[in-house]
Each structure stands twice: as structure tokens, then as C-alpha cells.
Amino acid sequence: MKANSVSQKKKLAIATVFTFVFMAGYALSAGMLGTLMPRIIEYYGLTLSAASSINIAKEVGNTTSMIFALLVVDRLDKNRLLAVMGLCFGGALLLFGAAPAFALLLAVQLVIGFSGGLLDNLCATYVSDLYGERRARFVSILHTLFAVGNMAGPKFAAWCYSVGGWTLSFLTSGVALAAAAVLFFALTRLVGPPAAAVEKTSGKTRQNIPYGKILRGKNLWYLSIASMFFSGLTYLTVWLPTYLDWRDASVYTTDFCATVMTAYSLGMLISRTGLAALSEKISTAVYVKWSSLLAALLFAVLLVVQQPLVWMGGIFLFGVISGANYTARFVLSCQEYPEYSSTASAFTGAFAALGNILYSAGIGALADAGYYTQALFMIVGALGLGFVIFTFLYRPPERRGPAPEKA
């Protein structure tokens, strides 16, 4: 089959489908880790502070990937790089499930953080490149699939744990994701990439990224600082089951925690589906502002009440309110500099990774001292600060003047 004999519509469909598959696989692995974290802690005999190094190692790798994306990705062929990162991430999941020692597991987490962070960035910015002015809708759809994968992750992990221990889910998902990456690479070599992908890796965009202009944009700085505060939402997707296990393992069992995280992911799915459907009617910035305030108030109530059924229903509502916050960061960063989507989103992503490192280290230390619940109120306060930024500092694109000329 000749590449030029395949229509652009089919090439676009192939690229879109595999990008969605990679995002769903990435989300599945994130959902698995949160559910299995108590079992990993038990398997390696870790304290909560030591266990936080698992997340810190991942975020160090993620931060490195954001620096790489900031400096390099907009100069490269994203189509090919997406396949390579999918293969690397799948292989790293395999190694995570096979790690015999905790030190090796941490080393693998660095690779997972780097390849997963870059895979996440590439999926969103590649879709943004492919769909241009329709990016808000399609990035929202992409992150809706993240919610689907994240929703399946806890139950998949719990089932694998009951069948073959905590390692089985990582081994299985690693093989599947690596196989998808190889197939994507083979198909795009056979039929060629979409025209939009070729255009984005040629000419002026590939040769010159105006870092000075990008870094002078106050809006991007406000968005990045808010992303650091909002990373507490990501912390919860991994550590909430561990917190509930810490409260009372006899009440908050593995199956219960898996159900709680599935409820959260279902709420996230509804949130992201709603953002995709209403992207042309509701400002993304307005959604971020009010969702951060409502999420802060709701999570504070959950921490005070501490009842199993309240956690179940409350965390579902929490997902509905805040589930599209992550999607919004990508959409807003791409809107700021659409020609340099990977660079702009990597800048905000680096701040989010820094936030995750600070949350993991700070909350882990306080948890070991017996103040786990009090430590989680840091997330409540940070969400409130995000509301302040989007109320008084961040200016949505429709409220600003014309965009500056390209450098």
C-alpha cells in the first residue's frame, strides 16, 4: 500500500485512534497504582514517608520530561515520538511489575515518570496540532478517555491482585501498551502521517521556538502557578486509597478503595464529557475558577465527616466538579501559544510536577508523624489559591487584546 493512496481522513483517523489508546493506557496505569499502593507498601515493608518516594521518583522523571518537551518536542516529529514513548512506557510498566527490590522499582519509576509524562504531553498536544481551532473539543474527548481508563484501573488492579498479586496488572498493561506502540509505528510507516502532523514539523515552527516571548507572557505564569496548586488533585488519585487504608484498613478494604476510585473516575468521566460537549458555550477559564472553589469546599467536608458512604458519594461528586481541571490546563496552555503547544503545556506541566513532589514529600512526612488528615487540608488550601488566581490574575483569551505577532 502506498502512503499517498490513503486519504487524509483515514490517516487522521489512525493517528487519532492510537493517540486515544495511548491516553487510555496511561490512565489505566495511573488508576492501578492508587489502588495497589497499600499492597506495594506492605510488600516492600515501607513507611508512608518512604512510600512517598515512589511518587517523588515519578515526578522527578515527569519534570525531566517537561524540560525535554519545553526545549525539544516542538522541533521533532510528534507522530514518531509518540510511538517511541508508548513503547518505552509499556516496557517500563513491565519492569515495574518485575522489580525484585525497592531501589530498582524507584529507578523504574523515574523512567515511568519521564516516558509517561512525555506520552501525556504528546497525546494532548498532538491532538491539538491535528484539530487546530477544534482543539478544546477533541482534547476534552481525549481526556474523557483518560477518565475511562482511570475508572477501569482500580477494578482491573483489584481483579489482578485477587488472581495473581499486585504485579500482574503492571505486567499485563505493559505488554498491551508496548504492542499498541509497535502497531502504530508500523501503520504510520505504511500509510504515512496526517498532513497536519507533517506541517507542524516543517518550516519556521520546527526551526525556531520564541522562548523569550513565551516566558514573557504573564498569563502562562499564572496558569503554571495554578497548575502547581492543582496538582493536589493528581496526588489524590494515587494516595487516597492509602489514606483510607491508614484510617481503618478493616473498613476501607482493597475492594472498597477500588470502588471509591472507580466512583471518582466515573465523576471525572462525566466532567470531561461535559466540558467536551459545552466547550463552545462555557469558557474553560470560568470552569477552572468555580470548580476549584467548589472542590475545595467539598473535600474539606469529606475530611471532616469521615464516613464510608459519604466518601463514596462525595468522591463521585468531587470527580464531577474537578475532573476536567487537568484537561483545562492543556486547553488553556495550547490556546496561549497554539503554534508551540508542546512548549507551552510543558511549561505548565513542569510546575505541576513540582507541585506533586512538594505534596508527596510534605504530606508523607506529616502522615508518618500522625497528621495525615491535617496534611490533606493542604490540598484544600491550594485549590482555594487556584480560585484566587483565576479570579483576580488570570485573564481569559476572550478578555485580552489581540495576540502578539509571531516572533
Domains and CATH numbers, the chain: 3-397 (1.20.1250.20)
Average pLDDT, the chain: 85
From CA 58, how far away is CA 41, in angstroms rounded? 16
Where residue 138 falls among pLDDT bands split at 50, 70, 90? Answer: confident
From CA 220, how far away is CA 404, in angstroms rounded? 14
Q: What is the pLDDT of residues 61-105, one digit of tens each?
A: 988 988 888 887 777 788 889 999 999 999 999 999 988 889 999
Give me the percent of the chain exceeding a pLDDT of 90.
35
Rg of the chain (C-alpha set): 20
pLDDT of residue 103: 92
| SS3 state of residue 278 | coil
**Helix extents (H) in 248-324:** 254-277, 284-305, 308-322
Contact 270, 323 (CB under 8 A): yes
Cell of 103: 531501589
pLDDT of residue 311: 95
**Residue 339 burial (10 A CB sphere; 0-12, 13-18, 19+):** middle
Per-position DSSP letters for 322-391, written without gaps between them: HTTHHHHHHHHHHHH-GGGHHHHHHHHHHHHHHHHHHHHHHHHHHHHTT-HHHHHHHHHHHHHHHHHHHH
- Does the pTM surpass 0.85? The reply is no
Answer yes or no: is pLDDT of 314 > 90. yes
Q: Which residues contact 53 (CB under 8 A, 6 or more apart)?
A: 106, 360
Answer yes or no: is pLDDT of 275 > 80. no
Answer yes or no: is pLDDT of 132 > 90. no
Where residue 205 falls among pLDDT bands split at 50, 70, 90? Answer: very low
